[in-house]
Chains A and B, each alone.
Chain A
Amino acid sequence: MTTKRVVTGNYAAAYGALLSRIQFSAAYPITPQTFIVEHLSEFVNDGILDAEFMRTESEHSAMSAVVAAEATGVRSFTATSSQGLALMHEVLFLPSALRLPVVMPVVNRTVAAPIGIWCEYNDTMPQRDTGWMQAYVEDNQEVLDMVIQAYRIAEHKDVLLPMMLSMDAFILSHTVEPVEFPNQDDVDDFLPPYKAEHAHLWPEDPMIIGSFTPPEYIQEVRYQTDQAMHAARDVIKEVTKEFGKKFGRDYGGLVEEYRMDDAEVALVSLGTVTSTARDVVDELREEGKKVGLVKLRYFRPYPYEEIRKVAEQVSAIGFYDRSISYGSGGPNYIEGRHALYGLDIPVMNFLAGLGGRDVTVPDIRLMYEKLLEAAKEGKAMKEIIWIGTRGVEP
């Protein structure tokens, strides 16, 4: 029997960890992730979560402990945000190359300067090349469901890579929504206990992990990690399906398409903006405009094929971004462009909501207007567009 409860995204994340029967966690508080650490502390102190829990003195240490514990052979979990993720950066490269399937929700928050605590993706996006899978979620139900799925995907023998779950600051972390809680037996069925076969630190079966490695060997490690990231695409699709069958919520794999049948233009969004965009699509459809939406669920591995397939059906495509690679464009747009190489349609980038500014219905309407205009003209008047920026003509 499942239960429905009204909870915050942070609670959903912590409860997802509990349902996943994590064995070890180390964490450090930072707004807006703090409640995840607090909820875990409560679960452990109330005896409902049977895990070792280390309250470390920094995020660098939290991630170090988590990687060490995972290398020792237990399912491990942490969560962070913004400056905390930046502080972890050095440690992030380890679990991917050492093939340790750690899972970490990241509550997306602005990285200073200027200091701010609201939603921006300039914390997770710069971690692109650390070898972590990166999923972006839309609501609190997806937060909970994705923690469980993340372990299944990460621990798959063809993958064995860490995964971060990006969830929007405050919009998810601090906002309550009804969430269906799967029961423990079903989760246990879906996610069996972690078996540390390829990596463990047990004297009865000595293994060395992380030795000093000369050029004769490192390149193969890089190749294997890259192969694992590629392999993750199929595993993600399989696991998403299986989860859908078991729990009744199929998120569609690497992307989810919304009203894309016969669409003339498509917007590729990620995070909570997707929910607002769904409403805008409905409105515009009612007005007779053929617009569609693609929710990017994974930034790593990036769904190149899926995005290309979508683009092949439309006359213009736009990519939404909540962070910027200075002098270049938004990371989603950069990846998307790469997927579309050689395809002759207008491609646009919409930058909005940086620093946590609300992305409103009119903002998204404007994105679609620009796309429809580009589709009609056969080219974009301007490719990279800053939406709702003081003193800047969109």
Chain B
Amino acid sequence: MINIKDLPDEELFTPGHTACPGCGVAQAVRNLMKVLGKNTVVYLPANCLLVFSATYPLDAFKVPYLHLLFENSGVAAAGIRRALRKLGKNDVNVVALAGDGGTADIGMQALSGAAERNEDIIYVMVDNEAYMNTGIQRSGSTPFGAWTTTTPVGKKIKGKMEHKKDVMKIMMAHEVPYAATVSPAFPADMLRKFEKVKNKHGFRFLQIYTTCPTGWRAPSEKTITLARMAVETGIFPLLEYEDGVLKVNYRPKGKYTVEEYLKAQGRFKHFTPEMMEEVKHWIEMKWRWIRTIEEGQKALEQEE
């Protein structure tokens, strides 16, 4: 298993790009590229990553990449893969690096199609929980209550009124060969999952929790802390679904409270106790579902 110390020094996602300080997306992509290595082709839809890494004539990627549009990552990456296969270049990793908006919302159709057809690609959802590139608008992946520029904290309505869409569950419903959630606060688990997607075939999905200090109104040195808090509170479960089996990779130990997580970010500043309760209720529901699956699986194993 790869260790953080074993990561190659060579940067395939080089410094000099223009991401904000503390950008979780840049950090996640840098590590992912180190694991995937040179023999990789990247598809970038429209998102923060494209703009801060790939503004002509500069370019932070040392591997080939293609950008076409915002909502077609799943199918564009699949097109690249099929063409490479036709050319006999079968050992190349093809990876799409899409935002949560480009995945959970406008890109869902192309993603679903690619997953259903089991296209041989790695699809990464860099989840910074809003449309950051266009200036912090709500996405389907924005959590309940969060302030964004389209869910402002008004006199009557305060923040987003709906909960976060669970894309991991949607991918599991597609019965893909591999799907996992990733937190950069758990580097061993993260690198293991990066290696896993590199070595497996078929449709592989990763949802990476990527802190956005700018959009979350959080201090830039808190990128990793927030990622840890999200897992510890149960808000962002570390999961892995492989060949039909769901695994919980880390059980929250309650090192942080939900209140602490919410208070650490300006986007939740307006939260009332009732809103906090709503978040806790949502976490409970989420984990009830996870436990139901886990226990069902355990019972089945015993039966077998």
Q: Which residues of B contact A6 (CB under 8 A)?
A: none
Q: Which residues of B contact A58 (CB under 8 A)?
A: 109-110, 113
Q: Which residues of A contact B74 (CB under 8 A)?
A: 61
Q: Output the least CB separation between A179 and chain B (Å).
A: 28
Interface of chain B, helix or strand or loop or mixed? mixed
Contact flags A35-78 to B (C-beta < 8 A → 1, else 0):
00000000000000001101111101100111111111110100
The stretch from B83-91, B213-221, B229-237, B277-285 touching chain A is B83-91
* Chain A, Cβ-Cβ closest to B73: A64
Task: Determine the distance from Cα of A74 to Cα of B81 in the docked complex, in whole angstroms.
Answer: 11
Task: Determine the distance from Cα of A214 to Cα of B71 in the docked complex, in whole angstroms.
Answer: 21
Answer yes or no: A288 CB below 8 A from chain B CBs: no
Q: Which residues of B contact A23 (CB under 8 A)?
A: 83, 86
With A54-B79, A57-B110 known to touch, is A208 a contact of B59 (CB < 8 Å)?
yes
B67 adjacent to A210 (CB under 8 Å): yes
A211 adjacent to B59 (CB under 8 Å): yes
A72 adjacent to B109 (CB under 8 Å): no
Q: Output the least CB separation between A216 and chain B (Å).
A: 9
* Chain B, Cβ-Cβ closest to A68: B79
Q: Which residues of B contact A212 (CB under 8 A)?
A: 50-51, 54-56, 67
* Chain A, Cβ-Cβ closest to B58: A211
Task: Determine the distance from Cα of A55 to Cα of B82 in the docked complex, in whole angstroms.
Answer: 12
Q: Which residues of A contact B43 (CB under 8 A)?
A: 68
Greatest chain B CB density within 10 A among A55, A72, A74, A214 is at A72
Q: Which residues of A contact B55 (CB under 8 A)?
A: 211-214
Give the total of A residues in contact with B, Cβ under 8 Å. 41
A54 adjacent to B67 (CB under 8 Å): no
With A65-B78, A209-B67 known to touch, is A60 a contact of B83 (CB < 8 Å)?
no
Task: Determine the distance from Cα of A217 to Cα of B87 in the docked complex, in whole angstroms.
Answer: 32
Answer yes or no: B222 CB below 8 A from chain A CBs: no
Q: Output the least CB separation between A208 and chain B (Å).
A: 5
CB neighbors of A among B78-137 (8 A): 78-80, 82-87, 89, 92, 109-110, 112-113, 116-117
Answer yes or no: B298 CB below 8 A from chain A CBs: no
B66 adjacent to A202 (CB under 8 Å): no
The stretch from B34-42, B204-212, B239-247 touching chain A is B34-42
Size class of B's contact patch? 35 or more
Q: Which residues of B contact A55 (CB under 8 A)?
A: 117
Q: Output the least CB separation between A80 and chain B (Å).
A: 15
CB neighbors of A among B31-77 (8 A): 38-41, 43, 50-51, 54-57, 59, 61-69, 71-72, 74-77
* Chain A, Cβ-Cβ closest to B50: A212
B76 adjacent to A64 (CB under 8 Å): yes
Can you pick out 24 interface pairs between chain A and chain B where the beta carbons lie within 8 Å of each other?
A24-B82, A24-B86, A55-B117, A57-B109, A57-B112, A60-B71, A61-B109, A64-B76, A64-B79, A64-B110, A65-B79, A68-B83, A72-B80, A73-B83, A94-B68, A201-B65, A201-B66, A203-B40, A203-B92, A206-B63, A210-B67, A211-B67, A212-B51, A217-B56
Give the interface of A toward B (CB within 8 A). 23-24, 26, 51-52, 54-58, 60-61, 64-74, 76, 90-91, 94, 200-203, 206-214, 217
